Amino acid sequence: MTRFDDHFQQALSDLSQKGLRRITQIMQPQQGPMVIRMIDNRLLCDFSSNDYLGLSHHPLLKERAQIWTEQVGVGARASRLVSGSLIFHQQVEEKVARFKRKEAALLFPSGWQANASVLPALFRLSQEQTGHKALVFTDRLNHASLHHGCAAAGAGQIRFRHNDLVHLTALLEKYQSEKGLRFIITESVFSMDGDQANIIGLRKIADQFNAFLYLDEAHATGILGVEGRGLSADQLGADLVMGTFSKALGCFGAYIAGSRAVCDWLINSCSGFIYSTALPPSMLGAMDAALDIVPTMDIERHRLLEKATWLRQQLQQVGLDTGLSSTPIIPIIIGENSKTLQAAKFLEENDILTIAIRPPTVPSHSSRLRIALTAIHDDRMLEQLCSSLVKLASFLTRQV
Protein backbone atom coordinates (compact mmCIF):
# COMPACT_ATOMS: atom_id res chain seq x y z
CA MET A 1 0.00 0.00 0.00
CA THR A 2 1.08 3.55 -0.70
CA ARG A 3 -0.59 6.83 0.24
CA PHE A 4 -1.53 7.24 -3.43
CA ASP A 5 -3.45 3.96 -3.72
CA ASP A 6 -6.78 5.59 -2.93
CA HIS A 7 -6.34 7.81 -5.98
CA PHE A 8 -5.53 4.83 -8.16
CA GLN A 9 -8.51 2.88 -6.84
CA GLN A 10 -10.86 5.80 -7.49
CA ALA A 11 -9.51 6.17 -11.04
CA LEU A 12 -10.04 2.42 -11.62
CA SER A 13 -13.55 2.68 -10.25
CA ASP A 14 -14.28 5.53 -12.64
CA LEU A 15 -13.07 3.41 -15.56
CA SER A 16 -15.26 0.51 -14.45
CA GLN A 17 -18.35 2.71 -14.33
CA LYS A 18 -17.67 3.84 -17.91
CA GLY A 19 -17.09 0.29 -19.13
CA LEU A 20 -13.46 1.15 -19.93
CA ARG A 21 -11.45 -0.81 -17.38
CA ARG A 22 -9.07 -3.40 -18.82
CA ILE A 23 -7.61 -6.51 -17.24
CA THR A 24 -5.09 -9.05 -18.47
CA GLN A 25 -6.30 -12.58 -19.21
CA ILE A 26 -3.68 -15.32 -19.05
CA MET A 27 -3.92 -17.66 -22.03
CA GLN A 28 -2.25 -21.00 -22.70
CA PRO A 29 -1.90 -21.59 -26.47
CA GLN A 30 -3.00 -25.00 -27.70
CA GLN A 31 -2.92 -26.58 -31.14
CA GLY A 32 -3.77 -24.19 -33.97
CA PRO A 33 -5.78 -21.14 -32.90
CA MET A 34 -7.14 -22.75 -29.71
CA VAL A 35 -6.28 -21.30 -26.28
CA ILE A 36 -7.09 -22.15 -22.70
CA ARG A 37 -8.07 -19.19 -20.54
CA MET A 38 -6.31 -19.96 -17.30
CA ILE A 39 -8.70 -18.20 -14.93
CA ASP A 40 -11.46 -20.73 -15.66
CA ASN A 41 -9.64 -23.37 -17.77
CA ARG A 42 -12.03 -22.68 -20.64
CA LEU A 43 -11.04 -23.80 -24.14
CA LEU A 44 -11.70 -21.02 -26.66
CA CYS A 45 -11.15 -20.56 -30.37
CA ASP A 46 -9.06 -17.41 -30.62
CA PHE A 47 -10.29 -14.90 -33.19
CA SER A 48 -8.39 -11.98 -31.67
CA SER A 49 -4.71 -12.62 -32.40
CA ASN A 50 -2.62 -11.03 -35.16
CA ASP A 51 -0.92 -14.33 -36.08
CA TYR A 52 -2.45 -14.07 -39.56
CA LEU A 53 -0.37 -16.81 -41.21
CA GLY A 54 0.00 -19.04 -38.15
CA LEU A 55 3.79 -18.68 -38.14
CA SER A 56 4.17 -18.28 -34.38
CA HIS A 57 4.35 -22.08 -34.08
CA HIS A 58 6.12 -22.79 -37.36
CA PRO A 59 8.92 -25.33 -36.84
CA LEU A 60 11.44 -23.42 -38.97
CA LEU A 61 11.05 -20.25 -36.88
CA LYS A 62 11.53 -22.23 -33.67
CA GLU A 63 14.47 -24.15 -35.08
CA ARG A 64 16.38 -21.10 -36.31
CA ALA A 65 15.69 -19.23 -33.05
CA GLN A 66 17.29 -22.12 -31.18
CA ILE A 67 20.25 -22.44 -33.56
CA TRP A 68 21.14 -18.75 -33.42
CA THR A 69 20.79 -18.78 -29.62
CA GLU A 70 23.17 -21.74 -29.41
CA GLN A 71 25.69 -19.91 -31.59
CA VAL A 72 25.88 -16.55 -29.81
CA GLY A 73 23.81 -16.71 -26.61
CA VAL A 74 20.47 -15.41 -25.38
CA GLY A 75 21.23 -11.69 -25.48
CA ALA A 76 22.93 -9.15 -27.72
CA ARG A 77 24.67 -7.70 -24.61
CA ALA A 78 24.55 -4.02 -25.59
CA SER A 79 22.94 -1.41 -27.78
CA ARG A 80 23.65 -1.38 -31.50
CA LEU A 81 26.08 1.56 -31.32
CA VAL A 82 28.11 0.03 -28.50
CA SER A 83 28.91 -3.65 -29.10
CA GLY A 84 25.44 -5.12 -29.65
CA SER A 85 25.46 -5.21 -33.45
CA LEU A 86 25.85 -8.83 -34.51
CA ILE A 87 26.30 -10.24 -37.97
CA PHE A 88 22.76 -11.57 -37.55
CA HIS A 89 21.37 -8.02 -37.24
CA GLN A 90 23.03 -7.12 -40.50
CA GLN A 91 21.77 -10.29 -42.19
CA VAL A 92 18.16 -9.68 -41.19
CA GLU A 93 18.28 -5.98 -42.08
CA GLU A 94 19.60 -6.74 -45.53
CA LYS A 95 16.87 -9.35 -46.00
CA VAL A 96 14.18 -6.88 -44.87
CA ALA A 97 15.47 -4.28 -47.33
CA ARG A 98 15.26 -6.78 -50.19
CA PHE A 99 11.80 -7.92 -49.08
CA LYS A 100 10.47 -4.35 -48.97
CA ARG A 101 12.46 -3.37 -52.10
CA LYS A 102 14.32 -0.58 -50.34
CA GLU A 103 18.01 0.33 -50.12
CA ALA A 104 18.34 -0.27 -46.39
CA ALA A 105 16.52 -1.24 -43.20
CA LEU A 106 16.93 -0.97 -39.43
CA LEU A 107 15.55 -3.25 -36.71
CA PHE A 108 13.70 -2.00 -33.63
CA PRO A 109 12.45 -3.80 -30.51
CA SER A 110 8.77 -3.09 -31.31
CA GLY A 111 6.48 -1.26 -33.68
CA TRP A 112 5.42 1.11 -30.92
CA GLN A 113 9.02 2.03 -30.18
CA ALA A 114 9.80 2.50 -33.87
CA ASN A 115 6.90 4.89 -34.49
CA ALA A 116 7.36 6.69 -31.20
CA SER A 117 11.05 7.40 -31.79
CA VAL A 118 11.52 7.53 -35.58
CA LEU A 119 8.96 10.29 -36.10
CA PRO A 120 10.59 12.75 -33.66
CA ALA A 121 13.95 12.16 -35.37
CA LEU A 122 12.42 12.87 -38.79
CA PHE A 123 10.63 16.00 -37.64
CA ARG A 124 13.79 17.31 -35.97
CA LEU A 125 15.42 17.22 -39.39
CA SER A 126 13.06 19.97 -40.54
CA GLN A 127 14.12 22.28 -37.72
CA GLU A 128 17.80 21.58 -38.27
CA GLN A 129 17.76 21.88 -42.06
CA THR A 130 15.17 24.63 -42.63
CA GLY A 131 14.94 26.41 -39.31
CA HIS A 132 11.20 25.70 -39.23
CA LYS A 133 9.03 23.08 -37.56
CA ALA A 134 7.81 20.18 -39.64
CA LEU A 135 4.30 20.29 -41.07
CA VAL A 136 2.75 16.93 -40.14
CA PHE A 137 -0.37 15.65 -41.89
CA THR A 138 -1.90 12.58 -40.24
CA ASP A 139 -4.91 10.34 -40.77
CA ARG A 140 -7.37 10.78 -37.89
CA LEU A 141 -7.51 7.02 -37.27
CA ASN A 142 -3.77 6.42 -37.11
CA HIS A 143 -2.46 3.99 -34.52
CA ALA A 144 -1.75 5.39 -31.06
CA SER A 145 2.00 4.91 -31.55
CA LEU A 146 1.95 7.30 -34.51
CA HIS A 147 0.05 9.91 -32.51
CA HIS A 148 2.51 9.40 -29.66
CA GLY A 149 5.49 9.91 -31.96
CA CYS A 150 4.02 13.23 -33.08
CA ALA A 151 3.33 14.27 -29.49
CA ALA A 152 6.84 13.27 -28.38
CA ALA A 153 8.23 15.54 -31.08
CA GLY A 154 6.01 18.43 -30.02
CA ALA A 155 4.55 18.41 -33.52
CA GLY A 156 1.07 19.78 -34.01
CA GLN A 157 -0.83 17.32 -36.16
CA ILE A 158 -2.81 18.56 -39.14
CA ARG A 159 -5.33 15.73 -39.25
CA PHE A 160 -7.20 14.75 -42.38
CA ARG A 161 -10.44 12.78 -42.42
CA HIS A 162 -9.90 9.04 -42.48
CA ASN A 163 -8.62 7.92 -45.90
CA ASP A 164 -9.96 11.16 -47.42
CA LEU A 165 -7.34 12.21 -49.96
CA VAL A 166 -9.45 15.15 -51.13
CA HIS A 167 -9.33 16.55 -47.60
CA LEU A 168 -5.59 15.83 -47.36
CA THR A 169 -5.01 17.70 -50.61
CA ALA A 170 -7.05 20.66 -49.39
CA LEU A 171 -5.02 20.83 -46.17
CA LEU A 172 -1.72 20.66 -48.05
CA GLU A 173 -2.90 23.48 -50.29
CA LYS A 174 -3.96 25.51 -47.25
CA TYR A 175 -0.49 25.25 -45.71
CA GLN A 176 1.41 25.49 -49.00
CA SER A 177 2.98 28.84 -48.15
CA GLU A 178 4.23 27.63 -44.75
CA LYS A 179 7.92 26.85 -44.40
CA GLY A 180 9.30 23.57 -43.08
CA LEU A 181 9.48 20.02 -44.37
CA ARG A 182 6.15 18.27 -45.00
CA PHE A 183 5.32 14.78 -43.77
CA ILE A 184 2.28 12.59 -44.50
CA ILE A 185 1.83 9.89 -41.85
CA THR A 186 -0.62 7.02 -42.25
CA GLU A 187 -1.18 3.27 -42.05
CA SER A 188 -1.65 1.03 -45.06
CA VAL A 189 -4.09 -1.29 -43.23
CA PHE A 190 -5.83 0.21 -40.23
CA SER A 191 -5.62 -2.10 -37.25
CA MET A 192 -9.06 -1.45 -35.77
CA ASP A 193 -11.06 -1.01 -38.99
CA GLY A 194 -9.41 -3.42 -41.41
CA ASP A 195 -9.63 -1.02 -44.34
CA GLN A 196 -6.82 0.01 -46.69
CA ALA A 197 -5.19 3.28 -47.66
CA ASN A 198 -4.86 4.35 -51.29
CA ILE A 199 -1.08 4.08 -51.62
CA ILE A 200 -0.91 5.19 -55.24
CA GLY A 201 -3.03 8.25 -54.46
CA LEU A 202 -0.94 9.09 -51.39
CA ARG A 203 2.28 8.82 -53.40
CA LYS A 204 0.95 11.17 -56.06
CA ILE A 205 -0.10 13.72 -53.47
CA ALA A 206 3.24 13.46 -51.67
CA ASP A 207 5.06 14.11 -54.94
CA GLN A 208 2.77 17.00 -55.84
CA PHE A 209 3.42 18.81 -52.55
CA ASN A 210 7.02 17.63 -52.02
CA ALA A 211 6.02 15.75 -48.88
CA PHE A 212 7.74 12.80 -47.17
CA LEU A 213 5.39 9.79 -47.03
CA TYR A 214 5.72 7.62 -43.89
CA LEU A 215 3.71 4.41 -44.02
CA ASP A 216 2.93 2.00 -41.18
CA GLU A 217 2.63 -1.43 -42.85
CA ALA A 218 2.33 -3.48 -39.66
CA HIS A 219 -0.97 -5.17 -40.57
CA ALA A 220 -0.39 -5.38 -44.34
CA THR A 221 3.02 -7.05 -44.35
CA GLY A 222 2.71 -10.79 -44.84
CA ILE A 223 -0.90 -10.88 -46.05
CA LEU A 224 -1.17 -8.24 -48.80
CA GLY A 225 0.84 -7.35 -51.88
CA VAL A 226 2.98 -9.51 -54.13
CA GLU A 227 4.56 -12.26 -52.00
CA GLY A 228 3.15 -10.57 -48.90
CA ARG A 229 5.49 -7.59 -49.21
CA GLY A 230 2.75 -5.13 -48.19
CA LEU A 231 0.86 -2.49 -50.13
CA SER A 232 3.79 -0.18 -50.86
CA ALA A 233 6.57 -2.47 -52.05
CA ASP A 234 5.15 -2.96 -55.53
CA GLN A 235 3.74 0.55 -56.00
CA LEU A 236 5.63 3.81 -56.25
CA GLY A 237 5.97 3.30 -52.52
CA ALA A 238 6.55 5.34 -49.41
CA ASP A 239 9.71 7.24 -48.49
CA LEU A 240 9.92 5.27 -45.26
CA VAL A 241 8.04 2.10 -44.34
CA MET A 242 7.57 0.75 -40.83
CA GLY A 243 6.49 -2.83 -40.23
CA THR A 244 6.48 -5.48 -37.55
CA PHE A 245 7.45 -9.12 -37.13
CA SER A 246 4.85 -9.60 -34.39
CA LYS A 247 1.81 -10.09 -36.62
CA ALA A 248 1.79 -12.09 -39.87
CA LEU A 249 5.50 -12.90 -39.43
CA GLY A 250 4.77 -14.67 -36.18
CA CYS A 251 7.51 -13.49 -33.82
CA PHE A 252 8.51 -10.08 -32.38
CA GLY A 253 10.27 -6.85 -33.24
CA ALA A 254 9.93 -4.21 -35.94
CA TYR A 255 11.78 -2.55 -38.78
CA ILE A 256 11.92 0.56 -40.87
CA ALA A 257 12.98 0.42 -44.51
CA GLY A 258 13.92 3.25 -46.84
CA SER A 259 16.88 4.90 -48.51
CA ARG A 260 20.41 4.37 -47.26
CA ALA A 261 20.61 8.06 -46.36
CA VAL A 262 17.49 8.08 -44.18
CA CYS A 263 18.56 4.89 -42.37
CA ASP A 264 22.03 6.32 -41.73
CA TRP A 265 20.41 9.49 -40.40
CA LEU A 266 18.26 7.47 -38.00
CA ILE A 267 21.28 5.53 -36.75
CA ASN A 268 22.65 8.90 -35.63
CA SER A 269 19.46 10.56 -34.42
CA CYS A 270 16.75 8.09 -33.40
CA SER A 271 16.59 7.56 -29.63
CA GLY A 272 14.74 4.25 -29.94
CA PHE A 273 17.62 2.83 -31.96
CA ILE A 274 20.51 4.50 -30.13
CA TYR A 275 19.52 3.79 -26.54
CA SER A 276 17.88 0.34 -26.72
CA THR A 277 19.64 -2.94 -26.17
CA ALA A 278 19.79 -4.77 -29.49
CA LEU A 279 17.32 -7.52 -30.29
CA PRO A 280 18.38 -10.98 -29.05
CA PRO A 281 19.67 -13.75 -31.35
CA SER A 282 16.60 -15.94 -30.79
CA MET A 283 14.26 -13.30 -32.24
CA LEU A 284 16.68 -12.58 -35.08
CA GLY A 285 16.62 -16.25 -36.01
CA ALA A 286 12.82 -16.34 -36.02
CA MET A 287 12.73 -13.12 -38.08
CA ASP A 288 15.16 -14.55 -40.61
CA ALA A 289 13.12 -17.72 -41.00
CA ALA A 290 9.85 -15.79 -41.35
CA LEU A 291 11.32 -13.69 -44.15
CA ASP A 292 12.22 -16.91 -45.96
CA ILE A 293 8.76 -18.43 -45.55
CA VAL A 294 6.34 -15.53 -46.11
CA PRO A 295 7.02 -15.04 -49.85
CA THR A 296 6.14 -18.72 -50.45
CA MET A 297 2.66 -18.52 -48.85
CA ASP A 298 0.54 -17.21 -51.72
CA ILE A 299 -1.98 -20.04 -51.35
CA GLU A 300 -2.48 -19.29 -47.65
CA ARG A 301 -2.86 -15.57 -48.35
CA HIS A 302 -5.42 -16.18 -51.08
CA ARG A 303 -7.49 -18.50 -48.91
CA LEU A 304 -7.32 -16.11 -45.97
CA LEU A 305 -8.66 -13.20 -48.01
CA GLU A 306 -11.40 -15.45 -49.44
CA LYS A 307 -12.43 -16.43 -45.90
CA ALA A 308 -12.59 -12.79 -44.87
CA THR A 309 -14.76 -11.85 -47.86
CA TRP A 310 -17.14 -14.74 -47.14
CA LEU A 311 -17.44 -13.87 -43.44
CA ARG A 312 -18.10 -10.17 -44.10
CA GLN A 313 -20.88 -11.07 -46.50
CA GLN A 314 -22.49 -13.40 -43.96
CA LEU A 315 -22.34 -10.80 -41.20
CA GLN A 316 -23.67 -7.98 -43.32
CA GLN A 317 -26.64 -10.13 -44.32
CA VAL A 318 -27.73 -10.36 -40.68
CA GLY A 319 -27.29 -6.64 -40.10
CA LEU A 320 -23.92 -6.53 -38.35
CA ASP A 321 -21.82 -3.45 -39.12
CA THR A 322 -18.38 -4.44 -40.41
CA GLY A 323 -17.41 -0.90 -41.42
CA LEU A 324 -15.18 -0.57 -44.47
CA SER A 325 -13.12 -3.69 -43.78
CA SER A 326 -11.45 -5.29 -46.81
CA THR A 327 -8.90 -7.45 -44.98
CA PRO A 328 -8.85 -10.30 -42.42
CA ILE A 329 -9.42 -7.64 -39.74
CA ILE A 330 -13.22 -7.45 -39.44
CA PRO A 331 -14.72 -5.08 -36.88
CA ILE A 332 -18.24 -5.58 -35.60
CA ILE A 333 -19.12 -2.03 -34.65
CA ILE A 334 -21.62 -1.89 -31.78
CA GLY A 335 -21.18 1.57 -30.28
CA GLU A 336 -21.87 1.40 -26.57
CA ASN A 337 -19.12 0.17 -24.23
CA SER A 338 -21.38 -1.94 -22.02
CA LYS A 339 -23.16 -3.50 -24.98
CA THR A 340 -19.82 -4.39 -26.58
CA LEU A 341 -18.64 -6.07 -23.38
CA GLN A 342 -21.89 -8.04 -23.28
CA ALA A 343 -21.33 -9.12 -26.88
CA ALA A 344 -17.80 -10.36 -26.11
CA LYS A 345 -19.13 -12.32 -23.13
CA PHE A 346 -21.92 -13.77 -25.29
CA LEU A 347 -19.35 -15.11 -27.77
CA GLU A 348 -17.19 -16.52 -24.98
CA GLU A 349 -20.20 -18.52 -23.86
CA ASN A 350 -20.16 -19.95 -27.38
CA ASP A 351 -16.41 -20.78 -27.02
CA ILE A 352 -15.30 -17.86 -29.22
CA LEU A 353 -12.60 -15.45 -28.00
CA THR A 354 -12.85 -11.89 -29.28
CA ILE A 355 -11.87 -8.68 -27.58
CA ALA A 356 -14.09 -5.68 -26.86
CA ILE A 357 -12.24 -2.69 -28.29
CA ARG A 358 -13.25 0.54 -26.58
CA PRO A 359 -12.11 4.18 -26.40
CA PRO A 360 -9.48 5.54 -26.45
CA THR A 361 -8.31 2.77 -28.80
CA VAL A 362 -11.21 3.69 -31.08
CA PRO A 363 -13.26 6.91 -31.25
CA SER A 364 -16.07 7.48 -28.74
CA HIS A 365 -19.33 5.69 -29.49
CA SER A 366 -17.62 3.24 -31.88
CA SER A 367 -16.79 0.37 -29.51
CA ARG A 368 -16.53 -2.91 -31.34
CA LEU A 369 -15.52 -6.51 -31.42
CA ARG A 370 -12.40 -7.01 -33.50
CA ILE A 371 -12.40 -10.27 -35.43
CA ALA A 372 -8.99 -11.29 -36.80
CA LEU A 373 -8.99 -14.28 -39.14
CA THR A 374 -5.89 -16.40 -39.65
CA ALA A 375 -4.73 -19.04 -42.09
CA ILE A 376 -5.03 -21.69 -39.35
CA HIS A 377 -8.75 -21.16 -38.76
CA ASP A 378 -10.33 -24.11 -40.56
CA ASP A 379 -13.79 -24.27 -42.16
CA ARG A 380 -15.36 -25.82 -39.06
CA MET A 381 -14.07 -22.96 -36.89
CA LEU A 382 -15.34 -20.39 -39.36
CA GLU A 383 -18.77 -22.01 -39.41
CA GLN A 384 -18.81 -21.96 -35.61
CA LEU A 385 -17.83 -18.30 -35.60
CA CYS A 386 -20.42 -17.39 -38.21
CA SER A 387 -23.18 -19.29 -36.40
CA SER A 388 -22.28 -17.59 -33.12
CA LEU A 389 -22.26 -14.15 -34.74
CA VAL A 390 -25.68 -14.75 -36.29
CA LYS A 391 -26.91 -15.53 -32.76
CA LEU A 392 -25.13 -12.39 -31.57
CA ALA A 393 -27.01 -10.27 -34.12
CA SER A 394 -30.28 -11.55 -32.67
CA PHE A 395 -28.99 -10.97 -29.14
CA LEU A 396 -28.04 -7.37 -29.93
CA THR A 397 -31.42 -6.72 -31.49
CA ARG A 398 -33.10 -7.82 -28.24
CA GLN A 399 -30.83 -5.45 -26.27
CA VAL A 400 -32.06 -2.34 -28.13
Domains located in the chain, CATH noted: 22-53+298-399 (3.90.1150.10), 58-295 (3.40.640.10)
Cβ atoms 365, 335 nearer than 8 A: yes
Look at residue 235 and tell me whether its pLDDT is greater than 70: no
Q: Are 212 and 222 in contact (CB under 8 A)?
A: no
pLDDT, residue 162, reads: 97
So what's the pLDDT on residue 271?
96
Report the C-alpha gap between 111 and 92 in whole angstroms: 16
DSSP 8-class letter at 235: S
The string of pLDDT tens digits covering residues 122-163 is: 999 999 999 999 999 999 999 999 999 999 999 999 999 999
Is 216 known to be catalytic?
A: yes
In tens, the pLDDT along 168-200 reads 999 999 999 999 999 999 999 999 999 999 999
pLDDT digits (tens, 9 = 90+) for 308-332: 999 999 999 999 999 999 999 999 9
- Identify the active-site residue in 187, 193, 288, 300: 187
46, 193, 216, 288: which one is catalytic? 216
Decide if 307 is catalytic: no
Single out the catalytic residue among 58, 89, 247, 307: 247
Quick check: is 162 catalytic? no
Q: In this predicted structure, what is the pLDDT of residue 394?
A: 85
Bridge partners (DSSP) listed for residue 137: 158, 184
7 labelled catalytic: no
Catalytic residue status for 219: yes
* Average confidence score pLDDT of the chain: 95
pLDDT at 237 > cutoff 90: no
pLDDT of residue 256: 98
Catalytic residue among 58, 89, 102, 143: 143
**CA-angle at 379, arms to 315 and 391, nearest 5°:** 35
Which member of 219, 282, 288, 367 is catalytic?
A: 219
Is 63 annotated as catalytic? no
Contact criterion met (CB below 8 Å) for 258 and 102: yes
Q: Which of 110, 115, 142, 191 is catalytic?
A: 191
- Residue 344 confidence class, pLDDT cut points 50, 70, 90: very high
Confidence at residue 174, expressed as pLDDT on a 0 to 100 scale: 98
pLDDT interval class at 400 (50, 70, 90): low
The string of pLDDT tens digits covering residues 249-294 is 999 999 999 999 999 999 999 999 999 999 999 999 999 999 999 9
Task: Check: CB of residue 68 under 8 Å from CB of residue 286.
Answer: no
d(CA 106, CA 299): 29
Active-site residue, 383 included: no
Q: What is the pLDDT of residues 23-81, one digit of tens each?
A: 998 999 998 999 999 999 999 999 999 999 999 999 999 999 999 999 999 999 999 99
